[in-house]
Chain A
Amino acid sequence: MNRASTGSTTGATPGPAFRTFCGHCGLPAEKEAYDGGSTPPSYPHPACAVRLELEPPRFCVRCGRRLKVQVSPLLVGPLLAPRPNVRSR
């Protein structure tokens, strides 16, 4: 099953275009509304949000796949390695 469902982004009322995923555990996020912008918002589960204060996201919020992450001493966020376009899977 392709975890990145697609939906229409046209019409008067933008509906959910993509399912979003929790950056900590990689499971579907609780909120799914996403208007199709280039960067989906991150909606981690409440318990996961607490963990994300002390560790970088390990999963892509767009497709739920594991990310390559490089942590540096002073880098606030992780460096995310390029990954294939999930919509083409």
Chain B
Amino acid sequence: MTIQPQLLKHPILVTAREQVLEQGRGLSEAQLVEVLRLPDEALPAALDLAHQVRLKHCGEDVEVEGIISIKTGGCPEDCHFCSQSGLFDSPVRGVWLDIPELVKAAKETAATGATEFCIVAAVRGPDIKLMNQIKFAIDRINEEVEINIACSLGMLTRRQVDQLASWGVHRYNHNLETARSYFPQVVTTHTYEERLETCAMVKDAGMELCCGALIGMGETLEQRAELAAQLAALDPHEVPLNFLNPRPGTPLENQQVMDGKDALRAIAAFRLAMPRTVLRYAGGRELTLGDLGTRDGLLGGVNAVIVGNYLTTLGRPANADLNLLVDLNMPIKELQKTL
């Protein structure tokens, strides 16, 4: 097979082609730094390679998901990017969603063709009241909607992990957010190790682990590569990739929105780090990449999207993304109940 001339100018892309595309082995942290430092003229070749890796190792399907907050705001943690922390002067007020509204949202999400519905709560970890509500919500959704249910409820105990698994939660989201070396700059109320503990328990219990990243928080390129490598070591089923959308009232409210080309380089790098992972476009892409960038990412390694709105901010209209998938001839992944 001939190698594209554009790749030959950049040895890391030649290496990535052999190592990731042909052998299915993700790039190392040092190699990822090289990808993140590629010049702009190499970006199309990097994205094309990442797209080939995605097609070969994941297939052409795109996984569509909707997310909703069952408990918004008032979180005791101090994640500096988050408008839902009760420790910051954010305009987001606390609100609970009732179960009928949750079921309605699940139905609407399923009607788009989405196969995943993630219930999120802004908490350090769930208490008994929240766990009971989650159980009730799962039962009601399962009665009325054909969709996989995922949860994101913060840090869990072993008992809670086992409960969620037994209730049919097939995937649990718990993000690393940033590199271990940068984490103390972003969160001080809990540790990186605590996050890793929940991630490990989720995998042990047989649930799929969804463990994501939030980039553009002031981390260096080296730390971005460190994060990708740390995620790869966890081997999550899914990695949602967020780009910082600076939220009013948070410590990061004045952080500059990251450059779109840097965001695309990160997409390519994350795919080259994790050739078989579901790599999902998550929050902030509208601000960082816009419509054209969204297309570039889907042709550069991304194989999953969050449809519609996020937890506290608005996304692209669902039809815009779904129509884009049609334009790109990318089929939506069909529902397969995993548990």
Task: Specify which chain A residues have a CB less than 8 angstroms from the CB of B307 in the assembled complex.
Answer: 73-74
Q: Are A71 and B318 in contact (CB under 8 A)?
A: no
Q: Are B92 and A72 in contact (CB under 8 A)?
A: no
Picked from A54, A68, A72, the residue with its CB within 8 Å of the CB of B245 is A54
Task: Specify which chain A residues have a CB less than 8 angstroms from the CB of B97 in the assembled complex.
Answer: 70
Which residues A34-89 have CB closer than 8 A to chain B? Answer: 53-56, 58-59, 66-75, 79, 81
- Given known A-B contacts A66-B93, A68-B95, A81-B95, A73 and B72 have beta carbons under 8 A apart: no
Of B15-23, B105-113, B178-186, B205-213, the segment with at least 4 beta carbons within 8 Å of chain A is: B105-113
A26 at interface (Cβ–Cβ under 8 A)? Answer: yes
Q: Are A70 and B286 in contact (CB under 8 A)?
A: no
A86 nearest CB across to chain B (Å)? 16
Task: Specify which chain A residues have a CB less than 8 angstroms from the CB of B26 in the assembled complex.
Answer: none
Of the candidates A66, A70, A74, the one having the most CB atoms from chain B within 10 angstroms of its own CB is: A74
Task: Specify which chain A residues have a CB less than 8 angstroms from the CB of B335 in the assembled complex.
Answer: none
- Given known A-B contacts A66-B91, A67-B93, A72-B108, A55 and B68 have beta carbons under 8 A apart: no
Task: Specify which chain A residues have a CB less than 8 angstroms from the CB of B66 in the assembled complex.
Answer: 73-74
The DSSP consensus for interface residues of chain B is loop
B69 at interface (Cβ–Cβ under 8 A)? Answer: yes
Chain B residue with minimal CB distance to A51?
B248
| Contact-residue size bin, chain B (C-beta under 8 Å from the other chain) | 20 to 34
Q: Are A71 and B108 in contact (CB under 8 A)?
A: no
Picked from B67, B286, B287, the residue with its CB within 8 Å of the CB of A73 is B67
Picked from A55, A73, A79, the residue with its CB within 8 Å of the CB of B313 is A55
B101 at interface (Cβ–Cβ under 8 A)? Answer: yes
Q: Are B105 and A54 in contact (CB under 8 A)?
A: no
Task: Specify which chain A residues have a CB less than 8 angstroms from the CB of B92 in the assembled complex.
Answer: 58, 69
Q: Are B105 and A69 in contact (CB under 8 A)?
A: no
B326 at interface (Cβ–Cβ under 8 A)? Answer: no
Which residues B90-131 have CB closer than 8 A to chain A? Answer: 91-95, 97, 101, 105, 108-109, 112
B30 at interface (Cβ–Cβ under 8 A)? Answer: no
B310 at interface (Cβ–Cβ under 8 A)? Answer: yes
In whole angstroms, what is the CA distance A54 to B287 when docked?
A: 8
Of the candidates A54, A71, A75, A81, the one having the most CB atoms from chain B within 10 angstroms of its own CB is: A71
Which residues B302-332 have CB closer than 8 A to chain A? Answer: 307-314, 318
Of the candidates B94, B311, B314, the one having the most CB atoms from chain A within 10 angstroms of its own CB is: B314
In whole angstroms, what is the CA distance A25 to B248 when docked?
A: 9
A61 nearest CB across to chain B (Å)? 14
- Given known A-B contacts A58-B92, A68-B95, A81-B95, A73 and B314 have beta carbons under 8 A apart: no
Given A72-B105, A74-B66, 12 more pairs with CB closer than 8 A: A54-B286, A54-B313, A56-B313, A56-B314, A70-B95, A71-B314, A72-B308, A73-B68, A74-B109, A74-B307, A74-B309, A74-B318
Residues of chain B touching chain A, judged by Cβ–Cβ distance below 8 Å, are 66-69, 72, 91-95, 97, 101, 105, 108-109, 112, 245, 248, 286-287, 307-314, 318
Residues of chain A touching chain B, judged by Cβ–Cβ distance below 8 Å, are 25-26, 53-56, 58-59, 66-75, 79, 81
Can you list 27 residue pairs at the A/B interface with Cβ under 8 Å? Answer: A53-B314, A54-B287, A55-B313, A55-B314, A56-B312, A56-B314, A58-B92, A58-B93, A68-B95, A69-B72, A69-B93, A69-B95, A70-B69, A71-B310, A71-B313, A71-B314, A72-B105, A72-B108, A72-B309, A73-B67, A73-B105, A73-B307, A73-B309, A73-B318, A75-B105, A79-B101, A81-B95
